[in-house]
Amino acid sequence: MSMAALTKTRKVQPYTFDPTILREYDIRGQIGKNLSADDAFSLGCALGTYVRRKGGQRICLGYDGRASSPVLAEAMIEGLTGTGLHVDVIGLGPTPMLYYAVKDSHADAGVMITGSHNPADYNGFKMTLQSGPIYGEAVQELGRIAASGEFETGNGTVAVIDIQDLYVARLARDFNRLKDLKVAWDCGNGAAGEIVRRLIKILPGEHILLFDEIDGTFPNHHPDPTVDENLADLIRIVKDKKCDLGVAFDGDADRIGAVDEQGNIMRCDTLMTIYAKDVLSRHPGATIVGDVKCSQVMFDDIARMGGKAVMWKTGHSLIKAKMAEEKSPLSGELSGHIFFGDGWYGFDDGIYCAVRLMNEVCKAAGPASSLTAHLPRIHNTPEIRFEVDETHKFDLVARIVASVKEQAKSNPEIKVNDIDGARVMTPEGWWLIRASNTQNVLVTRAEARTPDGLETLKSMVQKEVKGIGYDVSFSAQGH
């Protein structure tokens, strides 16, 4: 990146963002539609002002491999420095490397320019203070600061900092080196490529790299490991090359996907049981937080191992906040965000999760699949999303919560958890309906001990959805 950012070319003025880009956990939009360098500049002015008013002086900035990222970065740096903040430019890399820079260098804040797993023409901003993510009301506050045009002023400076080797060394430090493993790594042409390339050079064992070229057009498959078809290449390589383990990352590598030696997908709630066993061995009775989408098998297994399993709202910022409140050494979401407080800094880092998974495979008497062999076999649906009227989405869910609570009054076998929508436990298993925080959709999922039980749960969901005037179909069957 050039230092052209230091030349002031843009005019500081009040600015109104397209309100749809100010989201619950981040700012995200589509280039050429509702996101441009002007937005990045004004966000820099607003974010710089926000951080300065909290007493901050230094911010770290990183960006992913999308074509639009360097342009947004330059505009944002100009905005940030204009408020008097010093900017440490970490450069191209995964989101967790930016978080690592903020924690390790004790910066006041950090901003990552990334479209995460979204299509190539999307981009956005994930922002954090040293104390935790900027989300929810704070994102709206940035919009208000920009609209007011009342920014802090100053002459901030810029330094380009290369922390790649430092970050890689820190990741490698936590590998236990008990065994040489053969591991396949699918970077999906996302921002983790260079870091993983350096990491496997210093890790023992044999490593196979897939799609490590950072390419924001994602020419091979989409970098979202929660979608099964995106793991097809990884599964094939793991089987063909007889690997012990396969790991994959989303576009900015804050999320992990994994497959065992047989090529079976290990979903994040399953991974959580593997990590929990290790974490609970050092922190007996610790609280482990999982979101409402996670399998009951996970919560039960954590409790069986003596942990305090806490079910919490979906959303990585919300999980992070709950984790801090509970002083939890491990928390996670089905979507792939897993947070280690034990041994790590409490932020979501897909690459660090891969290292910790390798440790568990090393320790196991058998192969990777043996780590989950004790878990009861379940039948579940994938996550089903259906569109509803945005303005009523939370009311619709509230009506379903009221309806099932009413049923629970006369049927002691039904239990309702309404922490985030309705999660309903029945003798067959459980089902969930919640409103997405980021889209005009309701999300549903069901999980049962038997195929028949799953059919019962599906009809319960369909009945409730009909009750609010919509329809939902469970077309595809999950694993």
Q: Where are the beta strands (DSSP E) in 351-426?
A: 379-380, 384-387, 415-417, 422-426
Pick from 273, 337, 336, 339: nearest CA to 300: 273
Question: Of the listed pieces 5-13, 32-40, 243-251, 387-395, which binds Zn ion according to CB under 5 A?
Answer: 243-251
Question: Of the listed pieces 169-177, 248-256, 394-402, 415-423, which binds Zn ion according to CB under 5 A?
Answer: 248-256
Question: Of the listed pieces 75-83, 111-119, 198-206, 300-308, which binds Zn ion according to CB under 5 A?
Answer: 111-119
> Exposed e or buried b for every residue in 365-404, given b needs 16+ CB within 10 A?
eeebbebbeebeebbbbeebeeebeeeebeebbbbbbebb
Q: How many CA atoms lie within 13 A of 431 on its CB side?
A: 26
Sequence-separated (6 or more) residues with CB below 8 Å from residue 75: 10, 37, 38, 40, 41, 44
Q: How far is the CB of 114 from Zn ion (least distance, A)?
A: 7
Sequence-separated (6 or more) residues with CB below 8 Å from residue 440: 387, 388, 389, 390, 393
Catalytic-labelled residue, pool 36, 68, 116, 328: 116
Question: Of the listed pieces 22-30, 113-121, 238-246, 356-364, which binds Zn ion according to CB under 5 A?
Answer: 113-121
Pick from 222, 251, 324: nearest CA to 64: 251
Question: Of the listed pieces 39-47, 109-117, 144-152, 433-441, which binds Zn ion according to CB under 5 A?
Answer: 109-117
Q: How far is the CB of 223 from Zn ion (least distance, A)?
A: 8
Pick between residue 252 and residue 269 the one whose CB is nearest to Zn ion. 252
The CA distances from residue 253 to 28, 127, 165, 300, 402, in Å, are 17, 16, 17, 28, 39
Q: How far is the CB of 254 from Zn ion (least distance, A)?
A: 4
Assess 349 for contact with Zn ion (CB under 5 A): no
Q: How far is the CB of 319 from Zn ion (least distance, A)?
A: 14
Q: Where are the beta strands (DSSP E) in 15-108?
A: 27-30, 58-63, 86-92
Interaction residues for Zn ion, span 452-471 (CB under 5 A):
none
Are 437 and 344 in contact by the 8 Å Cβ rule? The answer is no
Which residue among 36, 68, 116, 128 contacts Zn ion (CB under 5 A)?
116
Q: How far is the CB of 116 from Zn ion (least distance, A)?
A: 4
Burial class, 327, CB count within 10 angstroms (exposed 0-12 / middle 13-18 / buried 19+): exposed
Question: Of the listed pieces 161-169, 187-195, 242-250, 415-423, which binds Zn ion according to CB under 5 A?
Answer: 242-250
Assess 26 for contact with Zn ion (CB under 5 A): no
Which stretches of 364-419 are DSSP H helices? Answer: 393-410
Assess 39 for contact with Zn ion (CB under 5 A): no
Residue nearest to Zn ion (CB): 116
Pick between residue 124 and residue 143 the one whose CB is nearest to Zn ion. 124
Assess 252 for contact with Zn ion (CB under 5 A): yes
How many whole angstroms separate alpha carbon 149 and alpha carbon 352?
40
> Is 116 designated active site?
yes
Pick between residue 249 and residue 299 the one whose CB is nearest to Zn ion. 249
How many whole angstroms separate alpha carbon 124 and alpha carbon 43?
11
How many whole angstroms separate alpha carbon 74 and alpha carbon 377?
51
Pick between residue 244 and residue 254 the one whose CB is nearest to Zn ion. 254
Pick between residue 41 and residue 125 the one whose CB is nearest to Zn ion. 125
* Contact track, Zn ion, 59-98, x by CB under 5 A: ----------------------------------------
Residue 343, sorted as left (phi over 0), alpha (psi -120 to 50) or beta, turns out to be left
Pick between residue 254 and residue 260 the one whose CB is nearest to Zn ion. 254
Are 181 and 242 in contact by the 8 Å Cβ rule? The answer is no
Q: How far is the CB of 350 from Zn ion (least distance, A)?
A: 8
Which residue among 78, 254, 420, 464 contacts Zn ion (CB under 5 A)?
254
Assess 250 for contact with Zn ion (CB under 5 A): yes
Pick between residue 231 and residue 446 the one whose CB is nearest to Zn ion. 231
Sequence-separated (6 or more) residues with CB below 8 Å from residue 374: none
Q: How far is the CB of 335 from Zn ion (least distance, A)?
A: 9
Q: How far is the CB of 191 from Zn ion (least distance, A)?
A: 9
Q: How far is the CB of 126 from Zn ion (least distance, A)?
A: 8
**Size, binding site for Zn ion by CB under 5 A:** 4
How many whole angstroms separate alpha carbon 465 and alpha carbon 379?
21
Assess 189 for contact with Zn ion (CB under 5 A): no
Sequence-separated (6 or more) residues with CB below 8 Å from residue 261: 238, 242, 243, 244, 245, 367, 368, 369
Pick between residue 28 and residue 458 the one whose CB is nearest to Zn ion. 28
Pick between residue 39 and residue 254 the one whose CB is nearest to Zn ion. 254
Q: Which residues are catalytic?
A: 116
Contacts with Zn ion by CB under 5 A lie at 116, 250, 252, 254
